[in-house]
Every structure is written in structure tokens, then in C-alpha cells.
Structure 1
């Protein structure tokens, strides 16, 4: 079977991305010897084939996102499984009522929840994520409370003693908790110890807590446990739960909200 020049070039590009984990447009141009426009078209084709994840300046190999235990920057993760995250965000927004005080931790899924909440009126949103606060800056009839602290560059989250002091004075109706991993042994986990601690503080001030995550987070464990599985009100995810997680939710009376059809049940 004879391959076209374009097919051979895209195959070489894919191998390059796989070997590096992530790559920029300029690196593709230099190594492959093509134009920027050609590199962009090749990345578009590879993304449509579900081989890579496009970023603003290049691409990431999907396998690197799924297998890496290291924390990736927000910009690198934002568009990974974007449609699933947007569906989760809509399901979360459906739970919000006028007058609610909503808490959003940092993360890509909670960022999309912030976008979905912009259509709401007369709500207050408390967050420790600078990018989420910026996204909500032009939202009408939404009060945004930003918790102070020191910002982490990879997540845009604020943490530290200043943040803890502010949280201690806030009462939250409903919290949406972004996580880096969900496992039977370690519960809901995060890469950063400081962010996990802030999340714990915010949970203590919240009447309801919903963990939000897509299926790529299940069976994964980041370094620091936020809370065990049984300490959340519910979960909002993009999949129909089964196996040990479904059983755990049933035993602990954890509400399951499935984003694909916006259904909810107490297992």
C-alpha cells in the first residue's frame, strides 16, 4: 500500500508528538520541514482522528495526559475531553438556584461550570481560582468573592493562611469540587497539598459538596487526598457509574448526577 506525502508527514508528526508528550507548532515546523499552515492542518487532521489533543500553540499526545502522574498546566488540560466537561458543567448549573452562594475550586471542569453559571442571576460565587474570577468578571447580577492567598502558576489557584482566614468567615450553599483523581483506596485526590487543604476548608463551610470529574479521573490517584469518597453530597460525572464506585455511592447515600442525560439518583 502506497501512502501519500501528507499521510507520511502526519504519521511522522504523530510519532514526534508521542515521543515528546507535547510539542509546539514551531518545533513541528523545524523538525518536519513544513510550513506553519501545513502543521496546523496536520494537527487538525490528527485531532479529528482522536490521536492528539490540540492546544493553543501546538498539541499533546492523549496518552501522555492519561498516563502521566505529573501535574499539567491548566492551559494544557482545558480542552481535553472538553465536551464531557461542558456537559458536566450544565448538569452542575442545573442544581444552582437564585440566591445560592456557590463555591468553585480551581480546575478545568469547574472553569466550565463558571461559564455555565454566567446565565444565572442573583447568585454569589466564591472561588480561589484567579482564572475563574476573571471569567466571571463581566457576568451580570453575579457577585464574585475571590479568596486571597498565593497563586500557583499551573492551576491559578490561591492558597495559604490568608485564604484560610477568609474562608473561615464565609457560608456556602453548594460547593463544586474539582479533583485530579478518584480511587477506592484514596478517595478524591489533588496534586497540590496546599490546594487540597484549601478545598478541605471550603468543604467545612459548605452545606452541600459535589465532586465534579470526567471518566479519565476514575481509578487515578494524585499525591494528596482531599477527602474520602463518603464525605461528599454527590458526584457529577459524564458516565454511567458501575462497579465499585456505583456500590460505594449506593452504600454511602451519595447522589449521582450523570451529565449525559442530566439524570440524578440516590444509590
Structure 2
């Protein structure tokens, strides 16, 4: 494509191409529109403010489709579906035994799992979420391993190279992973950084159990974390559509339906 000198025309074309392609790297944008990297970055920064795209690692961008789950700050969603999430948390905690090493990603459901784990003794919890580590910090029966990294203020999760370096050194028995979307294609989340650290935690875990309330079922978020075949189980309050339940069974992943007390 020839160089587009007018900023508005260039940004409109970038947005149109992103909608068609789904995502583009920074270098693709530079070469396609004949602009400098600095100009491309400024264009993407301004387009991101519109809420129609999200920046990706490496400087590129991904188009935000209407059906994709938006990122909701922890404080905003903390009280939503509280009883359902508590039921999920109790079910997850029932799978934990003395001597276990448990992994917890960030999220409102995993935060409640951490609260339930305070009733356990002689376990270790590995997490990249600052609020989860603080919740467990006063329990002498639980050893807490908190990764380093850059704090994402919407989720309280630590991400990036420092977090990933810590994860490489640990071994986890069971990881409970909070997610934003659950479909036949797998589990997904809004943040690319959180998706990356979740994948690394999965690699260090003997088994991974996705935990999510019923509003996540049938919805996809921006970044894929894992396929259903990579999960060992799911805990939700349901109901689970027959097609998704079958997909889980075909992937040999256990389905735990939490019962509301």
C-alpha cells in the first residue's frame, strides 16, 4: 500500500485492516502504510483509546470484536456472583491435601480459593497475584511463593520476564487457573501478559484445573491460554452445554460442578 500521509486516513485504514485480519505486528503496519515505527506506535496508542483495539507484546495490535470479553477491574467484579464463586472455591479447596504445592493465577475466583486454603496446613501456594499472597501472608501453615514482575493494576497480577524467571524454578502439583472465556476452542483471557504467565505456570504443574463461573461459558476472550486437551479439569457452577461437556470428556478433563450451599 502507498504511503498515507494524513493521520486520520491512515488510522481509519489501520482499523479497517485490523478488523479484517484480527491482528497485525508493528513491522507489518510500518511496511504496509509506509510510516515510521514512532508514527505507527502513536497511531496504535490513539486507536487503543477508542476501545476498538488492544496493544500486544512487541508493539502490534489486536482488534477487539464485540463478542470478546472486556477486561473488568478486580474491584469492579469482586462482589459479582459472590455465592457462585464461593461454591467454586470450596470445591477447589476440597481437592487440596497436606503437602501439596498449589498454583493460583490472579482473579476473583482464585482469590476466594486462597481464602478457603487458609483452613489448610502444610501446603505451599505459588502465585503471581499480589492480593492473593497478602491474603495468605498471616497463615503460618502455608508457605507462599510470590513471583516478581510488573504489576497489572486491574488484576493485581505480576507479569513479564521477572515473573516468568521465577516460574521456571518452581514445581507445582495442581494449578487453579482463573479465566475470562471458555469455549470448545479452549480457555482464554483478556491480557496477553497474563496469558503468557498462565501458560508457563501450566508447564510447571502436574495438572491444571480451570475455575470459572457460568458467565464465562461459551464466551471467548482476546488471548488463548490453552486448549481443552491441555486441562486436567474444570470447576464451574454450570450449567455446562452438552456440546462443551462432551468436548471436555473427549479431552479426558474432569468436570466438577460446584453446588451452592
TM-score, normalised via structure 2 length:
0.73
Tell me, yes or no, if structure 1 residue 246 matches structure 2 residue 223: no
Question: C-alpha offsets along residues 171-206 of structure 1, whole Å, 9 cap, x if unaligned?
Answer: 001000000111123x10010001000000000000
Corresponding position of 2:109? 109
The aligned residue for residue 50 of structure 2 is none
The alignment yields a C-alpha RMSD, in angstroms, of 1.6
Aligned equivalent of 2:201: 202
Unaligned runs of 5+ in 1: 1-66, 263-267
Cα distance in 1 between the residues matched to 2:104 and 2:203: 14
- Secondary structure in 2 aligned to 1:91? helix
Q: Any stretches of 5+ residues in structure 2 without a counterpart?
A: 1-66
Which 4+ residue blocks in structure 1 deviate beyond 3 angstroms?
none
Aligned to 1:260: 259
Q: SS at 1:134's partner residue?
A: helix
Residue 149 of structure 1 corresponds to which residue in structure 2? Answer: 149
Alignment of 1:1-267 (within 5 A): 69-185=69-185, 187-260=186-259
Structure 1 residue 241, shift from structure 2 partner: 2.5
Between the two structures, name the one with larger relative contact order (CA 8 Å, sep ≥ 6).
2
Rounded to whole Å, the distance in 2 between the matches of 1:239 and 1:261 is 11
Distance 2:72 2:238 in 1: 23
How many residues were matched structurally?
196
Take 1:252 and 1:184, find their aligned partners in 2: how far apart are those partners?
Answer: 11
Rounded to whole Å, the distance in 2 between the matches of 1:207 and 1:69 is 29
Deviation at 1:166, TM superposition (A): 0.7
Deviation at 1:140, TM superposition (A): 2.6
Q: 1:230: Cα distance to partner?
A: 1.3
Q: 1:223 to 1:68 in 2, by over 3 A?
A: closer
In structure 2, relative to structure 1, the CA distance for the partners of 1:99 and 1:166 (3 Å cut) is same
In the TM superposition, residue 220 of structure 1 has moved relative to its aligned partner by 1.0
Give how far 1:223 is off.
Answer: 0.5
Deviation at 1:242, TM superposition (A): 3.1
2: CA distance, partners of 1:83 / 1:172 = 28
Matched position secondary structure for 1:102: strand
- The answer on whether the counterparts of 1:177 and 1:210 sit within 8 Å (CA) in structure 2 is yes
SS of residue paired to 1:219? coil
Contact 1:239 / 1:260 at 8 angstroms: preserved in 2? no
d(CA) in 2 for partners of 1:260, 1:161? 39
What SS does the aligned partner of 1:189 have?
strand
TM-score normalised over the length of structure 1: 0.71
Note if contact 1:98-1:123 (Cα within 8 Å) is conserved in structure 2: yes
1:71 alignment partner, SS class: coil
2-structure distance, mates of 1:74, 1:139:
23
Please tell me whether the aligned partners of residues 84 and 214 of structure 1 are also in contact (alpha carbons under 8 angstroms): yes
